[in-house]
Amino acid sequence: MSKIKAGTKVPDFSLPMTGGGTWSLKDAAGRKLVIYFYPRDMTSGCTRESQDFRDLTPAFRKAGTDIVGISRDSITSHEKFAAREALPFPLLADTPGRRSANSSTSSRRKACTGENTWGWSAALFCWMAPGACSGSGAR
């Protein structure tokens, strides 16, 4: 999948979510949506980002906007992380073999323990219209 840019129609994807079941992009059609992608549960930066979204959830809800977090961690890991941080929104597991909208958009070369590897960097996508990305950002 190529980079997602504002105005790009995003293909539907479905992933397992915390609390059971499957979350699909098509189920959010017609709603405002923020999807944040993060590399790993329970790491300092990802925890802080998730806490910020948790703390801002009332303002997002007031604006009619849903929040979803996605990483490659397992549902078991997500359930522990969501419980520990009291996250009021679903976390989706983009485990190996699955493909979300972020599968190639936030991959980059990273130096890890002295070796160059491919890994995820954090990214944020916002949808204001059904199926079209209205903005994105990466850190």
- In Å, how far from its chain's centre is CA 61? 17
Go through the chain and tell me how many residues it has: 139
Q: Which amino acid, residue 104?
A: S
Residue 46: active-site member: yes
Q: Which of 46, 112, 126, 133 is catalytic?
A: 46
**One-character DSSP codes across 66-115:** EEEEEESS-HHHHHHHHHHHT--S-EEE--TT---TTTTTSEEEEEETTE
90 and 19 Cβ atoms separated by less than 8 Å: yes
What domains, with CATH codes, occur in the chain? 30-138 (3.40.30.10)
Can you give the pLDDT of all 139 residues of the chain as single tens digits?
456 666 777 778 899 999 999 999 888 888 888 888 888 999 998 899 999 999 999 999 999 999 999 998 999 999 999 999 999 999 999 987 566 655 444 444 444 445 544 444 456 666 555 555 555 554 4
